[in-house]
Structure 1
């Protein structure tokens, strides 16, 4: 057993415990509170007046897909040869040996949702993994986690250079719709084939990969910066009755009331970056605050390597500076992403029975000068300063 004591416990489950304690056993959180009772041998970690919080979660990044300090040889996030590649899987490209994983967990980021980039209309599946490990198969929390789709400039510019479709926003939407209609027909044909083998369609790996989307088992993870692209993503999701997350949502503050009515969560960012293209001209740290005040559930992201993943707490702090409530900012890098990603039964808060992914900071986690004292993943000490 491990006992973390003498710190302010930010449970992210509705309460803060001054001079609290967390008891861990078997990789899980056993108890949370004050003056906890226990029997048997225990290793004590002293927070020394600091803060004890759940491990930080990045809801949208590409860590391990574009390796740190490596060029083409380590760039495995965009298969820019076909605008529809739903059969690609992040787990086949992630390199857990990338130095950025170590930087992530040393700074309290214990869980990430990582996957393909946005060159293609349909890019493939994201996965949710812990940040410490040597083999991706042993790090998985949820696989597959989402199907990446992209709207706007990225697929347009990628395929305009190749003189092939899509070069317009109309074509992006048309390609996505085409595949969604085709997978529905494929599913009908498979069902008919169960009664008569002669009617069974030939195996199609692209169609098979999209079936979980149609069945509502995983959401579309929609890269959409501009307001019109956000609405197109929503329009298509509603047409096919699909789950959806709005990733980037750069112009979300311009349409916050409309998004609040729609009810889809927004994964906002990366805000700590330049306005490198036209669809980022409205980029501001105020987006998260405006959306949150209108009732939209938000998470913050780094889009690593655009912003190094271990700067996620800094992004949260800057969002607070721009008007976001401090507690909401903490939620946006812990329990909110866990809920949006569908893994809040395991991570995102300090509650009994959940994975013991915990970060202990010497100051408030959103203080730019704060440092981690201890980081635990699955109840094991991943980092000790």
Structure 2
């Protein structure tokens, strides 16, 4: 079915376009046109007068479906602590697509998430970027694997009952050893194939890391403190990794050093106040990173906070001086670009997935804003407009 959203204040998030009252035409699963006074014979017309039309919101880092909500320990599948090095783990194998948080996400405008293993291991496993709604689990996947999760700082030190690592040095050493082995494994495979000799013995962990050392699979590096951020970046440079810094709680103290990162994902800005590593965390980070030219997105880190709380976090950044449009970018197009899915989501543009959400007010400026309409790939899955 074709759908025509009319007369809404549309934030396309294309380049630096200013919001404009106009129409959005959806043909099937894709956005077809954006403009004024659009018509389409047979289209379902939804009047969005007085409302704000945004691209579907993106939570660039969470653990939805892996840490199941309201399920107790039975729903906690985010950390395989039997080993400190688990690159072979695939987030999709631990995700419960019927987790109530998926519905909670899309009725609040969050249409796309990046989710996967937690941060107990120096090398945690593979993330997946997915929609929050789909008739089958496979339909929900946008990119898989989307990144290899690694973790620095306190979490890996305390998760293995005295086994390595127990220091930050140990964490870095485990990661380096695995990456060195993966590089050697890849070269041995290439040489064997070229010389038509037997391949090296299959190693599932190294197979998972080969795309990482070849620059084909990005790394999401969990790091709060400045020293941990610098260690992550040091390893990224050593192995020429495509790395984003996740949490980055003290990144605003060293913004110049973040130039090497392929993006930063900050947060959760309203969670974990008991965690020692976030003592210097601040919503001012958004403004500081923006002023220093560092592309950043905002995460919920669910179960730390709900995915919808990226809106509250974006509003807190505005309060501390981040321009409003930049705050929206941090939960739409910036997130899509860092996750490398901006060819499909993150903005309202012809040819992109028809993931669109409609609010009663600008949701990063008003806590009273309510999501009244959500579409994912052209399907209306939440409707309080009509």
- The answer, yes or no, to whether TM exceeds 0.5 is yes
Alignment of 1:19-168 (within 5 A): 19-38=21-40, 40-133=41-134, 135-159=136-160, 162-168=161-167
Q: TM-score, normalised by structure 1?
A: 0.97
Alpha-carbon separation, structure 2, partners of 1:258 and 1:340: 18
Q: What residue number does 2:363 align with?
A: 365
Alpha-carbon separation, structure 2, partners of 1:190 and 1:263: 29
Q: What residue number does 1:348 align with?
A: 346
Alpha-carbon separation, structure 1, partners of 2:194 and 2:309: 54
8 Å Cα contact 2:245/2:261 also seen in 1: no
Alignment of 1:6-25 (within 5 A): 6-13=7-14, 14-25=16-27
Deviation at 1:198, TM superposition (A): 4.4
| Local SS of the residue matching 1:312 | helix
8 Å Cα contact 2:223/2:229 also seen in 1: yes
| Local SS of the residue matching 2:217 | coil
8 Å Cα contact 1:265/1:340 also seen in 2: yes
Alpha-carbon separation, structure 2, partners of 1:274 and 1:120: 19
Deviation at 1:256, TM superposition (A): 1.4
Q: What CA deviation, in whole Å up to 9, does each residue of 1:226-256 have, x standing for no partner?
A: 0000000000000011100000000011111
Deviation at 1:196, TM superposition (A): 4.5
Alpha-carbon separation, structure 2, partners of 1:174 and 1:212: 20
Q: Which moved more, 1:148-157 or 1:267-276?
A: 267-276
Residue 193 in structure 1 maps to residue 195 in structure 2: no
8 Å Cα contact 2:54/2:358 also seen in 1: yes
Alpha-carbon separation, structure 1, partners of 2:250 and 2:320: 15
Residue 295 in structure 1 maps to residue 293 in structure 2: yes
Taking only aligned residues, the RMSD between alpha carbons, in angstroms, comes to 1.2
Write out the 4+ residue segments of structure 1 that deviate beyond 3 Å after TM superposition: 195-199
Deviation at 1:135, TM superposition (A): 3.5
Paired residues, what number?
381
Q: What residue number does 2:212 align with?
A: 213
Deviation at 1:46, TM superposition (A): 1.2
Q: TM-score, normalised by structure 2?
A: 0.96
Q: What CA deviation, in whole Å up to 9, does each residue of 1:140-176 have, x standing for no partner?
A: 00000000000000000112xx221100111111100
